[in-house]
Structure 1
Amino acid sequence: METRREAAVPGGRRAVTSRVDDNDTLRVEWPQPDDAEIVLRHAETGEERPGADLTGLRAGIWLASHRGGPLMTDDPGFSLDGLLTYAETPRDREIRAFRTTAGILALTVREVGPYVEVTGVVSDDGVIEVEGLVAYGEPYAGPARLVAVARKGPEPVSGPAAFSGRRFGGGVPIAPMAEAQARKRAFWDLHAEIAGVRLPLATRLDDVTDKKTKVRFPAQHVGRIRVRPYYTETDSLAVALSVEEETS
C-alpha cells in the first residue's frame, strides 16, 4: 500500500494493530488498556474528527492523534483477507488504515464504485480467461459476458461468463480483436457484463503498486499480431494488441 512522507515525529502513543471494520469503525489494539479518545485530522484542510466512528469522513488522508500526540504504530495496516471481507459490503466510499513513513497511523478515504476484483488471469489457447470477486457491489447470479471494449473503432468483443454470488469467471476470444486490428497498436478494456450492467475488471485490494510495469502476463499471437493482457495505471485489466515487424 502506498505510504506518504512526513517528518519524523518524536514520542506519541503507539498502537499494536489498527483496522477499519466492515461498519467503518476504527478498531485499535493497545499494548495495555486505554480508553482515551482518538482524534483524526484531515491532512489538507486541518478539519478534526474525534472518535472511532468513520462514517461520513471526507475523501483524503486523515492522521490520527491520541492524548495530544501523534498515534504511532508498527502495523502497516494491510490485510488482504480483511480488505476482501471489507469489499463484500456495497459502499461508495472506501476507508483504509495505513502507516506513514514517519510511523503514524493514518487513514485514506476515497470514493469507489462496484467492480470485479481480479484474482486470476490465464492467457492461452486463443482465449483470455479471468476469475474475480465483486467488490463494493451487490452479488449477482446467472449467465454473463466477459466484454472487451476497444478504446477506438471496432465493436465490442465478448465471450461467455457467469456470476455465482460474488464470484465471477469468464473468457473472451482474442481472434476477433486481432481481426479488427487497423493500427499498429490497439487497446481494449475488459468488463464483466450482466443484465446490461458493465463492471470494470481491476486488481486494487492487494499491496502491489505500479502493476503496469511489475505484472507481466504471457502474450499470444494471431498471425503477426501480439495479444497481451496488462494492467493500466489505475490497476484496471486491459488488453494490448500490436503488429510485430516482419523478419527477413
Structure 2
Amino acid sequence: MRRFFIDPSEISKGTPVIEGQDAYHIAGVLRLKPKDHIILVDGTGFEYKAEILSSSKNQVAVSIVEKYAALTESPIGIHVCQGYLKDKKMEMLIRHLTEIGITRWTPVISERSIPQADKKPNPSRIERWHVIAREAVKQCRRTRVPEITPLTPFQQAVTNSADMDLKIIFYENATVPFSRSIAPDGHPITQILVIFGPEGGFSNREIEFARSNGFLVASLGPRILKAETASIAACTLIQHIFGDMG
C-alpha cells in the first residue's frame, strides 16, 4: 500500500483529511478511489491503515481502520552535529543519514566551516532539509522524521550534551579507532551524540574543548575520509554496534 504523511492532529478527528500535493498524488496520479486503502504515517512513530471515503485532487477524506507502532525505528537515538559543508553535501547527508536512522540533525558552525555565507540563518534552506528528510522517511519506511535544529556554534553543540549516554567527536588525527575506544561500563547506551567536522576538519583547540566536556575523541581508521563519507560510515557503525543494523 502507498504511504503518506498526515499531521497527528488530523488523526484525532473523526474523518482525517489529506490535502495539498499528497491529495493530488492520491486522486490525480494514482487514481485511488473510495474503498481503496493507504498507509498514513504521523511522524511520531505510528502508522495507520486507512480507507478512502472520498477523493478529489484537492482533498482526500479517510477512515482509520487500524493503528500500529512500526518496527522500523532504531532502539537508539543518534544525534548528529555536522560541521557545515556545501549545500549539496548537506542535503545528501540528510537523506542518507535519515535512511540510516538518525533522530536529530544539527548543522554546526566551527572554526573551519566554509563558505562563510552559509553561516547565516536561512529559513528556506532549513525548510528544504525538512522536505528531504520527509522524502527519505517515506522511501525507507521509517515512521519518525528526524528533528532538524537551527545552525549552532560548535561550543554550544558541545556543552548542550549533558543528557547523552555517549558523546563522540571524530578526528582524523585521533590515535584510537572508535570501535576500540568504547569500553563498556555497564550503563545502557540509548542516546548518542556524534560531532563531525567540516571539510577542513577541527582545530586542536576545538578537539581539546570537546575532550574537556566528556567527549571521546575517535578515528574511523587509518584512511582519511571525505567529510560526508566519514559521517555516513560512522553512523552506520554506530547503528551496527548499538542499534539494529546488521
TM band (smaller chain): under 0.3
Q: Which has the larger radius of gyration?
A: 1
Higher RCO (C-alpha under 8 Å, 6+ residues apart) = 2
Richer in helix (by share) = 2
Richer in strand (by share) = 1
TM-score scaled by length of structure 2: 0.24
